[in-house]
Structure 1
Amino acid sequence: MKLSRSTLAVALLAALAAPAAHAEITIDVIGGSEVSFEGLVQADFYQFDSDTIDYGADSSSDLDGSEYLNELRRAELVLKGKGPGNIEWVLGYDAKDDKFLDVNAKYKFGNNANHFIQVGQFKQPGATMEELSSTKNNDFISKSSITNTLGTARRVGAQYNIGDADWGLTASYFSRELTRNREHGNGYAVRGYWAPVNEAGNILHLGVSYLDKDTDGDALRLRARPMADMVPTRFVDANMNRTDRASFVGVEGLWVRGPFKLQAEYMSTDVKRYGGADDFSGDGYYVSGLWNITGETWGYKGGVPTTGLPDNPGLGMWQLGLRYDTIDLTDGAVVGGEMDSITAGVNWYWRSNFKFMLNYVKVNQEKGVLEDNPNIIEARMQFYW
């Protein structure tokens, strides 16, 4: 669904006119469960300085090589419940993408948030640390290429987690995505992490993950957008048949010192093929740095960083960020392509419910003898409660 600029403006003004609220709205206590309601609305705008591909092309495009897109990115509605006892549950739906989000129930042993079993649809341990973090607090408008291309996010399954504030170990078994005609293929995943330093404003985190899944249908397609989530075209595209299973290994690191955060992740994949087809290997990584100009720092929970509210709600929290990202999906006869990008961004968290983001992205893509190197200006307006 594409929105005109006037429709988008009206929607954003309506959001800005809404009364301020905190992270969630308490509804009622039903059957011993404290029920609350959360939401996230994001609207994106992209301006392309295109190279060989017109990424903004649509029915109204004049194909002049410098196009734009504006569209609602997310419209997430989430019900949460605490209780009875040590049970927690969540029911989430993205009205924009017409898909279920987290839909699961969790039982915490001894009321320990780091020791639990979980059944339903949830983000898999084989996803990146970036994916496991809260979407509303993404450092950049587009997540990294390994998160979007190699990571396995939400699937239906069961998982067991044990740990405390400084370490954790998670194992899961999963099947398809809950929404019809989405991702499928049975598999399992594990993730372990350790924070040898975990103090207020001083965090060091290390983690590893492994995921193995059936490619289901004996076909696998790995492709990457040019660091702009809403574009339909992917220049980097590895499309394979005669595939059996795919495995993914991830390594992650995080360092927080006062208002500075340094984060990096690496992920590789190995695809087993049959019928004389050569196995495939691909990989990628990103390194990003963020500076809270207004002095705030980050927290740490469940092996991921957490972003708090501005110290001065009226002034808001201002951030500057820089990221280098790369992915390689070419191996032997499979020429999926390579992509390198640099993203510079500024974020403004205003009061308790609003976030505004502006990114400049420089992308270099190669596939065999072909190249495509767009420059993109991206903006996001976000309202959450």
Structure 2
Amino acid sequence: MKSFLALSHVAAVAGGLWAVPLAAQDGGAGSGHGQVEALRAEMARLADRVETLEAELAAAKGEPAAVPPAPAAPSAGASSISWKGAPVIEGEGGWSFKPRGRLQIDAGTISAPDSLGAVDGFGSEIRRARLGAEGDIPGGFGYKFELDFAGGEVELADGILTYGDGGLTVSIGHHNTFQGLEELTSSRFISTMERAAFTDAFGFERRLGLSTQYAAGAWLVQAGVFSDNADALSNRNWSVDGRVVAMPELGGTRLHLGGSVHYADYEEGTALRYRQRPFAHFTDTRFIDTGRVEGASELGMGLEAAAIAGPFHAAAEGFWQQVDRPGALPDPTFFGGYAEIGMFLTPGDTRGYKRGVFDRVKPANPVGEGGFGAVQINLRYDRLDLVDAGIVGGTHDGYAVSLVWTPTDYTRFMANYGRMEYANAALPAGEDDRSYGVDTFGVRAQIDF
């Protein structure tokens, strides 16, 4: 009896379904598009009703109800999302997109002799506040774009289109030139709050240009032709930069040996200036300063070396910058360099390294997973000499110690103390007194993704 009733329900629904096209033939209300939509709605209602009747029939016969099929799995070409400090979206055909950024908040103090009359004491700033994106484009192409909002201004950091094929990478756009290990290591991964003094004093910065690099085994070769920093354009300045690095691994120790060369040609009337802050960026006071030096060109040469062995690392660089002055004026050669050693105090941690630069530290026992993160201590000696060929810009010998805590892969806290000993300083402490010391202390909170 129950089976007969169920079948009668199906017949009744089917009759209702047939009524729709018959009404259309008779030219009744709801003709055209409305009739098609009514038909679709009636079919959907019929499908739901048939499913219900099937369940009732199965119950009448004492059989289990049919289980609806599981939804189909996404196709192999569908987009996927993974996590690498930020979401990495990968699409069909080789597309990818990842937001990137960093925030560095600094504070500290500077203590200089009272007789200088220089601005010292407490200072703070947003050192870097960057946002951007990077990813891949089908065909071996890629992109990287990042803006810096620190200081209340918007500046272009990176704006690059790349092409890669195996170990070859070609880059065009606004990016770093190839002037050494310290300069090319990201500010996210340096061992002190500020880089070695010569990198800033000699004007190392991103420039608009075309470059290529090739990595094969333990060798890396980089070269490029550049114009100037985006903020300085348009002008006729141009430069050529190159770097070669050997990076073998011997018995568990990563070695790094490299050399770089820099040549810049400046348009007529260009004035160059070499100067440096006292191991802190939140002050504009420069205790050594050459003043304006007219220059037709620059020639720089650098040497670099580093080693990483378990928790220990060491690094050293030297860079010589010669200025070609017009006419019969003598050409000065200035020098900068540093030497550093460091070690991790937490077991299992080591300094990161990748393709010729220091890279991200990944704590063996991060906070949030039952650990304390990675703790590192570093000692550094820093030298800058801006005295030569009648130019007396001053010298400094800097001694610094830093403590770095990395709770997780993408968070970092730093504290460093520096003592700068100046001679022939630009600012006198008294009559003919240009030799004195300045102390700095700074802390930083950092997050990046």
TM surpasses 0.5: yes
The reply on whether 1:383 has 2:447 as its aligned counterpart is yes
Matched, 1:102 2:154: no
Q: Which residue in 2 is equivalent to 1:204?
A: 255
Q: Deviations over 1:252-282 (max 9, x none)?
A: 0011111000000000011011133221110
Letter in 2 for 1:202: T
From 377, 396, 406, the equivalent of 1:320 is: 377
Give the Cα–Cα distance (whole angstroms) in 1 for the partners of residues 176 and 160 of structure 2. Answer: 10
2:344 paired residue among 280, 292, 298:
292
How far apart, in 1, do the equivalents of 2:159 and 2:236 lie?
Answer: 16
Whose helix proportion is higher, 1 or 2? 2
Could you tell me how far 1:48 is from its partner in structure 2? 1.8
Query: What is the rounded CA distance, in whole Å, between the counterparts of 2:337 and 2:293 in structure 1?
Result: 25
- Displacement after TM superposition at 1:198 (Å): 5.8
Which structure has more strand as a fraction of its residues?
Answer: 1
Structure-1 residue corresponding to 2:98: 36
Shift in alpha-carbon separation, 1:347–1:328, aligned structure 2, 3 A = same
Q: How many residues align?
A: 351
Matched, 1:116 2:157: no
1:336-370 deviation per Cα after TM superposition (whole angstroms, max 9, x unaligned): 10011101110001123321101111111111651
Residue aligned with 2:281, SS = coil
Q: CA deviation at 1:49?
A: 2.0
Candidates 331, 335, 339, aligned match of 2:396:
339
Which residue does 1:60 correspond to in 2?
none
In 2, the alpha carbon distance for the partners of 1:214 and 1:356 equals: 40
Question: CA offsets, 1:286-316, max 9 Å, x none?
Answer: 0011111113113432211223311111211
CA contact (8 A) 1:318 1:347 kept: yes
Write the deviation string for residues 205-230 of structure 1: whole angstroms up to 9, x where unpaired.
10000000023342110111111122
Cα deviation digits, residues 4-30 of structure 1 (max 9, x gap): xxxxxxxxxxxxxxxxx7433335749
* Separation in structure 1 between the aligned mates of residue 416 and residue 234 of structure 2, nearest angstrom: 29
Farther-moved stretch of structure 1 (251-260 vs 152-161): 152-161
Aligned: 1:355 with 2:417: no
Between the aligned residues of both structures, percent identity stands at 27
Q: 2:402 and 2:382 mapped to 1: Cα distance? A: 14
Question: CA deviation digits over 1:88-138, x for unaligned, max 9?
Answer: 1101110115211111111111xx2x311111111101x221121121111
| TM-score, normalised by the number of residues in structure 1 | 0.86
* 1:165/1:302 contact within 8 Å kept: no
**Equivalent position of 1:25 in the other structure:** 87
Secondary structure of the 2:284 match is coil
Distance 1:267 1:151 in 2: 12
Alpha-carbon distance in structure 2 between the residues aligned to 1:188 and 1:247: 10
Query: 1:46 is aligned with what amino acid?
Result: G
Partner AA of 1:104 in structure 2: I
**Residue among 288, 303, 306 paired with 2:359:** 306
Counterpart AA for 1:48: I
- Greater relative contact order (Cα 8 A, min sep 6): structure 1 or 2? 1
1:174·1:188 contact (CA, 8 Å) conserved in 2?
A: yes
Cα deviation, 1:319-343, whole Å, max 9, x if unaligned, reads 0010000000011321110011101
Which residue in the other structure is 2:146 paired with? 92
The RMSD of aligned alpha carbons is 2.1
Larger CA Rg, structure 1 vs 2: 2
CA distance in 1, matches of 2:156, 2:90: 23
Are the equivalent residues in 2 in contact too, given 1:242–1:277 (CA < 8 A)? no
Find the partner of 1:47 among 109, 113, 126: 109
